[in-house]
Chains A and B, each alone.
Chain A
Amino acid sequence: MSLQQARPPLPSDDKRWKLVNATMRRNGYAGHALIETLHSVQDAFGFLDEASLRFVAASLDLPMSKVFGVATFYHLFTLKPKGRHACVVCTGTACYIKGAGALVERLHERYDILPGETTSDDRLSLLTARCVGACGLAPAIVVDGDVLGKLDSESLIAKLEELN
């Protein structure tokens, strides 16, 4: 008789769960695949909710406390859904020297959100990053995956206003 618990059913028939399951299967459902699995949940769903954490914990046979501990330890994982658009301000040293702090302040004034928050209409999330490695373009901003360089706050806001 195997001591291995039966694997839990998929939380819903959303096809994205199959991607998550594939990651775990590729790693033989080993506990050390936890971070890889959380990456794959976040890639598929955009964030980690309680249902997904419980599913991962049960599948990898790990206590929920450990899964929650790892999910909240690493900055890249987020437990809150993001807005439709994401604006990431790089706050690496080179960008800081060139005024990234002022950009964050101006965005706060304009949209009333702090880094990590989303506007109440779910339109825009403001995030900060520790160096996106585009120091030649400082201050660097990543809007929906596109790196924009050497922007001042007014042209950045103009860009953000263009998003629908």
Chain B
Amino acid sequence: MYKTEIRGKLISGDKSLGQISQDILRPIDAKTPRWWYAAMTMSLALFGWGLYCKYITVSQGIGTWGVNNTVAWGWEIVNFVWWIGIGHAGTAFSIFLLILRQKWRTAINRAAEAMTVVAVLCASLFPLLHMGRPWLFFFIFPYPNTRGPLWVNFNSPLFWDFVAISAYMLISASFWYFGMVPDFATIRDTTKSKIKKAIYGFFAFGWVGSSKEWLRYEGLSFVLGGIAAVLVVSVHSIVSTDFAVSVEPGWHTTIFPPYFVVGAIFSGFAMVLTLVTLMRKLYKMEDFITDSHVDAVCRILVFISLIMGTAYITEIFMAWYSGSEYEMYTFFKNRITGEYALQFWGMFTFNAIIPQLFWFKKVRSKLWVVFIISLLINWGMWFERFNIVVTSLSRDYLPANWAEYHPTWVEIGFFTGTIGMFAAGVLLFFRYIPMIAISEIKSVSKYDKPMPEPKIEHHD
């Protein structure tokens, strides 16, 4: 049972159910704020620049990137894994906290799920366009064909990757959308604009809120949640096999699947924190996203950060324990003291050390500090992926092949383009979709009310 005295209020302001609906829907009905237009323009500009870089990539070839015959995967894979990791949060949030009966998730899960969908979309661009011949991407589908039939290589982690990501994308998008149906119905019923009524009415699927509908709704959530719970674990473990199945020192590591999943949740939660702090400030959602919410996410982060630190040290220990000179070189020379040491120490500091500040209540309660740390964690997780992908590749078995890798403006533009795309997606979400799951948060509206005294009947 949630103890308000210990963990703080889930909704402050002593709101009635009607008020809750009103408060959450206010931004959708209100006039679009100026800052939104400014932010949207910037995001679209970044996105447009990204599109131009993609055009260069597709029209001229990935030679326009900095990758080479030694480091054949660069920023594009770093960013892919990074976005996928971020895209982990939504579903992980909803599912794990659901399973763990953490009711405080209700204020945040919608935003987290929205983020997931946009992040996975951003992520999926990278593996598609990093192909030498992206127009033949369908070769990776296992479809019956006239070439033999020629099937894909079921042994290849890249194929598993494709299956895992597309399944994850499908399920998390459905999960997010179906969760919104009752809220769309609420907008439909409360809005005065005819256009909005029509549009939200369409997306609400004629929801009326009958008991039967709620029963089905719960059933569907349960089924999708069940599938998604598996996918949350599978998706990043499979992404990790892209590396773990190889022979590269620094990639060929059995710790990778859990390490990647935890890392993904770590970056995802950090991104959630970034978003909800913004949301809370920009839309004055302090009543719903209370200090206790922020506090809870911070606590989770400090815990995961410890796991991350353990994983990093385990990796290094295993490199030494393996006795393999190539492994030892990769970890001790190349990562810790090598050319890319900055990225290693950035990763270690941002992911394993700085989040330890969350042990202090003072830090957790300062929103701007929390915001900055959440950004640092995201940065640190980017460094982690850089460490794995680029640092390992740049110096592996034969020293004659060792080469440096530097990104070009095209790859950097591609990446910033996805940031623009992500920001634009999130801004659209802020503007047109209830940021907080109204129907779900209503279920916790009574949590901070004093419990009615249980009637104890005495049978003497």
Partners in one complex: no
